[in-house]
Chain A
Amino acid sequence: MESLNFVEKKVIRVGAEAVIKEAFWKNHRIIVKHRVPKRYREESIDLRVRKSRTIHEAKMLIHLSENGIPVPLVYFIDPVECVIYMQYIEGLELRNHPGAVERAKRLGNIVGEMHGLDVCHGDLTLANIIADENQGVWVVDFGLSGFNADLEEKAIDVHLLERSAASTFPTQTKKFFENFLKSYSETTGRDAAKEVLEKVKEIRSRGRYVAR
Chain B
Amino acid sequence: MVTVLGIESTAHTFGVGIVNSQGKILANVMKIYKPSVGGIHPREASQHHAAKAAEAVAEAFQTAGIKPSDIDAVAFSQGPGMGPCLRTGATVARTLSLALRKPLIGVNHGVAHIEIGKLVTNCGDPVVLYVAGGNTMVVALVEKKYRILGETLDIAAGNCLDAFGISAGIGPMPAAEIYAKQGSKIYDIPYRVNGMDVSFSGLLTASEKLLKSGVPLGDVCLSLTETVYSMLTEVTERALAMTAKSSLLLVGGLARSKRLCEMLNTMCVDRGASLHVVPDQYAGDNGAMIAWTGLLMYGCKQFINVDESFVKPRMRVDEVEVCWSP
Hey, which bits of chain A sit against chain B, CB under 8 A? Answer: 14-17, 38-42, 44-46, 48-49, 122-125, 127, 144, 156, 160, 163, 166-167, 170-171, 203, 205-210, 212
Contact = CB atoms under 8 A, between A and B. Distances in A.
19 contacts: A17-B237, A39-B266, A40-B266, A40-B270, A41-B234, A45-B230, A122-B195, A125-B196, A156-B197, A166-B147, A167-B149, A207-B137, A208-B135, A209-B80, A209-B82, A209-B134, A209-B156, A210-B155, A212-B204
A40 B230 contact: yes
Given A15-B241, A156-B194, A209-B11, 15 more contacts: A16-B234, A40-B230, A40-B263, A45-B186, A125-B242, A160-B194, A170-B142, A170-B145, A205-B314, A206-B153, A207-B137, A207-B153, A209-B82, A212-B155, A212-B159
Which of A17, A122, A171, A209 lies at the interface centre, i.e. has the most chain B CB atoms within 10 A of its CB?
A: A209
Contact of B267 (A40, A127, A205, A208): A40
A207 B227 contact: no
Given A160-B197, A208-B314, A42 B266 contact: no
Given A40-B233, A144-B195, A48 B188 contact: yes
Contacts of B243: 167
A166 B134 CA distance: 25
Contacts of B116: none
Contacts of A160: 194-197
B194 A144 contact: yes
Given A40-B263, A167-B142, A167-B149, A209 B242 contact: no
Contacts, number: 108
B55 interface: no
B317 to A, nearest CB: 10
B194 A45 contact: no
Nearest to B40: A211
Nearest to B151: A207
B251 to A, nearest CB: 15
Contacts of A45: 186, 191, 226-227, 230
B191 A207 contact: no
A41 B135 CA distance: 23
Interface residues of B, number: 51
A122 to B, nearest CB: 5
B147 A40 contact: no
A208 B80 contact: yes
Interface majority SS (helix, strand, loop, mixed), chain A: loop
A42 B230 CA distance: 8
Interface in B177-213: 186, 188, 191, 193-197, 201, 204
Contacts of B197: 156, 160
A122 B194 contact: yes
A113 B147 CA distance: 29
A210 to B, nearest CB: 5
A208 B148 CA distance: 13
Nearest to B155: A210
A125 B150 CA distance: 11
A142 B140 CA distance: 25
Contacts of B264: 40
A124 B195 contact: yes
Interface in B153-171: 153-156, 159, 163
Contact of A207 (B147, B149, B152, B193): B152
Nearest to A15: B241
B194 A167 contact: no
